[in-house]
């Protein structure tokens, strides 16, 4: 028996939910001039609240999106965010009830997967989320970098709505090429770019090649430095978003930001783990990987649909036994082969919980690695080699979108 109930929220309750969520992060409520951007990001039927004694004590919501999977397909996907339980109601089953209701609702609505960005890593594994992509925080000493080459195309600054429109179009074209990327809902651009553009002096630079067509963009801002007594804070150019159609456009965009004058450091958060920025530099030591951390936490809502959506390498089949406590209809055995996936009655060769399957799904980590760390049960040791080969990908998955 619980002393709270779970309800879908209507638009009159969104601000209360948002204030509750911000409070769990120890932030004050969103000011009035910012609320219009936040309000646009609430979608009907996708915000849920937990109530006790007539008050909201917890909330969770999601944004409608699509997820790119290995092989080039995209699947319906929910970007889960604004998860919070009021401090006086934690550890009383509120979050578990919210998660159970949300997972069931998302699956029923046709979403194949859900992802989130975890503020605390100990929370979400119990609900079936597994780390599926990683990203890096890069810092480059611009004065030391000495790039080896110069741009070959044209990179130009584009102001205001025109810059956002070009960036938006290029992102929609370029992002689904890489597994792990997600589509951005319209309100993402308002919250992440338009809302902060004026006060944080955000700039958009667009690259075009010999054909004259736009083929990449970078969103950045410059944070002025301070020189206090004994405390050096360099002027830093922050790369916030960078996408390119090919290697030539990618190199030109990085060379552009490295060439901006009166900047001591170029920094970028959330970049792919295989991005070879250091090879553009005359001095590789000018580029420092400040941090490499989990990015996407993935939840497979419909395991048969998710497994069938992606492609597999040529290898002998493997039978996976999946356990899912929150969505038990996912539990069962699945025969995975280069030709596809079939639900079977056969005994599994590898047995794993749905969060572990999520970690392997995009190809960022191998079954052998997770077996070595005792994250799955190995019934047939030869199955590890087959599973690794089937799920192998040519490049690490990456999302590149924070929400």
367 is catalytic: no
pLDDT in tens, 329-357: 999 999 999 999 999 999 999 999 999 99
Confidence of residue 258 (pLDDT cuts 50, 70, 90): very high
Tell me the H-state helices in 46-93. none
Q: Helices (H) and strands (E) in the chain — how many of each?
A: 12, 21
Q: Which two tokens stand for residue 32?
A: 């009035």
- Are 5-111 and 135-293 in the same CATH fold? yes
The active-site residue, picked from 42, 217, 361, 403, is 403
User: In Å, how far are 68, 286, 354, 377 from 300, measured between CA atoms?
Assistant: 13, 40, 7, 19
Whether residue 230 has pLDDT greater than 80: no
Listing DSSP states for 231-280 in one string gives EEE--EEEEEEEEESSHHHHHHHHHHHHT-TT-SEEEEEEE-TT--GGGG
Confidence of residue 201 (pLDDT cuts 50, 70, 90): confident
Confidence of residue 199 (pLDDT cuts 50, 70, 90): confident
At residue 400, the pLDDT reads: 98
At residue 1, the pLDDT reads: 43
Confidence of residue 3 (pLDDT cuts 50, 70, 90): confident
Of the CATH numbers 3.40.630.30, 3.40.50.970, 3.40.50.2300, 3.40.50.720, which one belongs to the domain with range 135-293? 3.40.630.30
At residue 228, the pLDDT reads: 57
Q: Could you give the percent of the chain with pLDDT greater than 70?
A: 98
The active-site residue, picked from 14, 21, 63, 124, is 124
Q: Average the pLDDT over each of 122-131, 185-194, 234-243, 328-337 and give the range with the smallest value.
A: 185-194
209-214 long-range Cβ contacts below 8 angstroms, 24+ apart: 209/152, 209/153, 209/154, 209/248, 209/249, 210/153, 214/166, 214/170
* Rounded distance between C-alpha atoms, residue 159 and residue 187, angstroms: 19
Q: Are 170 and 400 in contact (CB under 8 A)?
A: no
What superfamily would CATH give domain 302-391? Answer: SCP2 sterol-binding domain (3.30.1050.10)
Phi, psi of 87 (to 5 degrees): -55, -30
Q: Are 370 and 387 in contact (CB under 8 A)?
A: no
* Rounded distance between C-alpha atoms, residue 240 and residue 249, angstroms: 17
At residue 200, the pLDDT reads: 86
269 is catalytic: no
Confirm or reject CATH 3.40.50.1980 for domain 5-111, answering yes or no. no
In the chain, where are the structural domains located?
5-111, 135-293, 302-391
């Amino acid at each position: 028996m619980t002393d709270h109930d779970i309800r879908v929220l209507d638009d009159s309750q969104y601000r209360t939910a948002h204030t509750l969520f911000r409070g769990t992060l120890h932030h004050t409520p969103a000011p009035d001039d910012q609320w219009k951007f936040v309000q646009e990001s609430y979608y009907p039927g996708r915000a849920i609240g937990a109530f006790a004694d007539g008050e909201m004590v917890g909330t969770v919501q999601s944004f409608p999106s699509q997820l790119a999977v290995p092989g080039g397909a995209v699947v319906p996907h929910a970007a889960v965010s604004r998860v919070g339980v009021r401090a006086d109601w934690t550890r009383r089953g509120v979050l578990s009830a919210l998660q159970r209701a949300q997972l069931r609702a998302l699956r029923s609505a046709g979403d194949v997967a859900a992802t989130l960005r975890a503020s605390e890593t100990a929370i979400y594994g119990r609900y079936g989320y597994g780390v599926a992509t990683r990203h890096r925080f890069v810092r480059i000493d611009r004065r030391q970098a000495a790039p080896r080459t110069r741009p070959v195309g044209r990179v130009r600054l584009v102001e205001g709505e025109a810059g956002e429109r070009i960036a938006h179009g290029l992102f929609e074209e370029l992002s689904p090429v890489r597994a792990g990327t997600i589509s951005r809902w319209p309100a993402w651009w308002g919250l992440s770019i338009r809302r902060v553009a004026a006060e944080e002096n955000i700039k958009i630079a667009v690259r075009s090649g010999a054909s004259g067509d736009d083929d990449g963009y970078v969103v950045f801002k410059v944070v002025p430095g301070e020189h206090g007594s004994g405390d050096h804070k360099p002027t830093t150019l922050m790369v916030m978003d960078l996408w390119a159609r090919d290697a030539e456009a990618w190199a030109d965009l990085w060379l552009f930001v490295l060439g901006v004058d009166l900047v001591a450091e170029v920094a970028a958060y959330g970049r792919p783990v295989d991005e070879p920025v250091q090879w553009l530099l005359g001095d590789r030591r000018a580029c420092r990987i400040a941090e490499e951390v989990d990015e996407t936490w993935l939840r497979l809502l419909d395991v048969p649909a998710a497994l069938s959506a992606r492609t597999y390498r040529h290898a002998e089949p493997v039978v996976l036994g999946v356990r899912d406590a929150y969505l038990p209809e996912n539990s069962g055995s699945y025969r995975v082969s280069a030709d596809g996936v079939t639900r079977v009655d056969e005994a599994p060769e590898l047995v794993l919980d749905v969060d572990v399957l999520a970690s392997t799904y995009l190809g960022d980590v191998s079954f052998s690695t997770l077996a070595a760390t005792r994250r799955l049960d190995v019934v047939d040791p030869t199955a590890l080699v087959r599973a690794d080969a089937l799920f192998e990908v040519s490049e690490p998955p990456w999302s590149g979108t924070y929400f």
